[in-house]
Chain A
Amino acid sequence: MSGPLAAGAPKPECDVAIVGGGIMGLALAYHLALRGVTDVVVLERGYLASGASGRNGGGIRMQWSTETNIRLMRESVELCKRFAQELGVNVWLRQGGYLFLASSDGERARMEQNVALQNRFGVPTRMLLPDEARQIVPDLAPGSFVAACFNPRDGILFPWPFLYGYANQAAARGVEIHTACEVRTIEPGPRGFRLTTSKGALTAQRVVDAAGAWSPAVARLVGVSLPNRPHRHEILATQPLKPFLGPMVSVLRSGLYFSQSMRGEIVTGITVEDGLSERVNMGSRLVFLTTLAREITRVMPRLAQVRVLRQWAGPYDVTPDGNPIVGEAPGVPGFYLACGFVGHGFMMAPVVSKYLGEWLAGGAEPEFLQRWRLARFAEGDLHREDMIIG
């Protein structure tokens, strides 16, 4: 039995070279192959799941604050529901909902606005009084929040199998996936892009930068300057417990979120200011543990007795307006960007890769990508996303 990884050097010529074997790159490879574009090579510097795709909390939700994101994520959750059957891998999806907690009247007002918008686009989120929220999660401390909103169709999944599922199905259709394969140079030329990698050189008609937090460095290889920067986001898992927690719970004010995975662990993270840096840092800090522990035991005191098993970190790929950067890079025809997903790339990948794949396979450019063009930063045409968590 052979797996999805290619051995040896990449083939010398291909139609599409995708830089980055995370969820975005692998999902795009799958959607291209599904539409007949099988002459595709994925080039991953580390291993599958080595970046943010293998380090995130696995939340998928429809609760967003802009029409584009609400509609896309509604579809993405639907796609995830079919994923196990479609790709033959159990992704341990559980639709326990997302319960957001508001700590002030101002936050409640923002929440009401967002819920109204979500309802308009078919997402069944509803506002709850604290007592109603405590019927869903009885262990929430009375008085620790003033209002909540709940969408029962949001959920969680286990990120790792997702990647293997896309990789298997892409490879089965002819896509070459190379790991431990670092892209060193990309040279645009009359007959396509010339790439050199740690495993050999190749020529590609089109190149997609799906390198997440590393995407600015990849874009720089063709002289494109990106405004996104890596931000360390830390997360932990506790000892496994019997199933008792239905939804993913998130406190808007602190950026705390916690859910119970299908393995029984509480998986939880929180915003800890770290600044943006030029380099990706995935080191773990004690200050994260103590900051998170104080906030989670304030909201749910009963968790005080639960033990932390392990903590780790992953890079958020942060853009100035909280929205992704997707599309052809200005001035470099054939060089496409699919990055800047600000910690939400995993949940957005199923739907974004589908539309991007349709477009790159010869379809029309999806209308929503107008809002995600790189040029918007130069033009000042920004639409800020409100629902950035963690």
Chain B
Amino acid sequence: MAGKVIVCRCEDVTLDDLAHATSLGYAHIEEVKRYTGLGTGPCQGKECMVACALFLARTTGQPPSEGEPFTSRPPIAPVALGTLARDGGEGALPTGRGRGR
């Protein structure tokens, strides 16, 4: 059953893929993202991140409230290069300040 459960529709990542990643020791949500590609498609994790966090909480036995989201990547929704090229945009946006680990 688990093998048929798709967690990330954009990148076709299944529950089995998540279980495989954690079995290899990649149990932090940033590691799971990188090992499986989860959350790197058009929705950028909006559909799959919570499901992944819950899975990790269950796997590691940590309370779900202690789970972290992975770093959110701008833009919030896909934007055409042509639109960005027309805008002035000289300032800096207060976007995700990478965690610098």
Is B65 on the interface with A (CB-CB < 8 A)? no
Tell me which of B47-55, B56-64, B84-92 binds A. Answer: B84-92
Within 23-51 of B, Cβ neighbours of A (below 8 Å) are at 23-26, 28, 30-31, 34-35, 40-42, 44
Is A16 on the interface with B (CB-CB < 8 A)? no
* Complex interface bits, B62-98 against A, C-beta within 8 A gives 1, otherwise 0: 0000000001011100111111110111111101111
A281 touches B34 (CB 8 A): no
Within 1-43 of A, Cβ neighbours of B (below 8 Å) are at 1-5, 7
Within 203-249 of A, Cβ neighbours of B (below 8 Å) are at 237-240
Return the contact of A297 from the options B82, B89, B101 (Cβ within 8 A): B82
Is A309 on the interface with B (CB-CB < 8 A)? yes
Question: How many B residues are at the interface, by size bracket?
Answer: 35 or more
Output the nearest chain B residue to A283 by Cβ-Cβ distance.
Answer: B97
**Complex-state Cα separation, A123 to B35, whole angstroms:** 34
A47 touches B84 (CB 8 A): no
B5 to chain A, nearest CB (A): 20
Is A311 on the interface with B (CB-CB < 8 A)? yes
Contact A47:B28 (CB < 8 A) given known A285-B93, A297-B81: yes
Give the chain A neighbours of B25 by CB distance below 8 A.
2-5, 7
Contact A287:B75 (CB < 8 A) given known A293-B84, A303-B81, A310-B44: no
Is B100 on the interface with A (CB-CB < 8 A)? yes
Count A-side interface residues using an 8 Å CB cutoff: 48
Contact A290:B30 (CB < 8 A) given known A50-B101, A285-B93, A307-B79: no
Output the nearest chain A residue to B89 by Cβ-Cβ distance.
Answer: A290
Output the nearest chain A residue to B97 by Cβ-Cβ distance.
Answer: A283
Give the chain B neighbours of A309 by CB distance below 8 A.
41-42, 44, 78
B85 touches A307 (CB 8 A): no
Q: How many A-B residue pairs have CB under 8 A?
A: 133
Give the chain A neighbours of B31 by CB distance below 8 A.
47-49
**Complex-state Cα separation, A309 to B40, whole angstroms:** 8
**Complex-state Cα separation, A160 to B89, whole angstroms:** 32
**Complex-state Cα separation, A272 to B81, whole angstroms:** 17
B17 to chain A, nearest CB (A): 13
**Complex-state Cα separation, A306 to B44, whole angstroms:** 16
* Complex interface bits, A136-149 against B, C-beta within 8 A gives 1, otherwise 0: 00000000000000
Give the chain B neighbours of A308 by CB distance below 8 A.
75, 78-81, 84
B73 touches A311 (CB 8 A): yes
B24 touches A2 (CB 8 A): yes
Is A164 on the interface with B (CB-CB < 8 A)? yes
B73 touches A312 (CB 8 A): yes
A306 touches B80 (CB 8 A): yes
Is A46 on the interface with B (CB-CB < 8 A)? yes
Give the chain A neighbours of B30 by CB distance below 8 A.
47, 50
A284 touches B42 (CB 8 A): no
Is A361 on the interface with B (CB-CB < 8 A)? no
Give the chain A neighbours of B74 by CB distance below 8 A.
284, 286, 289, 310-311
Is A294 on the interface with B (CB-CB < 8 A)? yes
Is A116 on the interface with B (CB-CB < 8 A)? no
**Complex-state Cα separation, A238 to B92, whole angstroms:** 20
Contact A293:B98 (CB < 8 A) given known A1-B23, A3-B26, A284-B73: no
B101 to chain A, nearest CB (A): 3
**Complex-state Cα separation, A7 to B24, whole angstroms:** 11
A45 touches B101 (CB 8 A): yes
Is A334 on the interface with B (CB-CB < 8 A)? no
A290 to chain B, nearest CB (A): 4
B75 touches A282 (CB 8 A): no
Is A304 on the interface with B (CB-CB < 8 A)? yes
Return the contact of A284 from the options B24, B28, B81, B96 (Cβ within 8 A): B96
Give the chain A neighbours of B99 by CB distance below 8 A.
282
**Complex-state Cα separation, A164 to B25, whole angstroms:** 12
Return the contact of B98 from the options A237, A282, A292, A305 (Cβ within 8 A): A282
Output the nearest chain B residue to A285 by Cβ-Cβ distance.
Answer: B92
Contact A287:B90 (CB < 8 A) given known A4-B25, A49-B34: yes
A46 touches B23 (CB 8 A): no
Give the chain B neighbours of A307 by CB distance below 8 A.
78-81
A387 to chain B, nearest CB (A): 26
Would you give 6 A-B contacts (Cβ < 8 Å), ordered by A? A3-B25, A48-B34, A297-B82, A304-B81, A308-B81, A308-B84
Extra A-B contacts (7), CB below 8 Å, given A2-B23, A290-B89, A307-B78: A3-B23, A281-B98, A284-B95, A286-B93, A287-B92, A305-B81, A310-B44
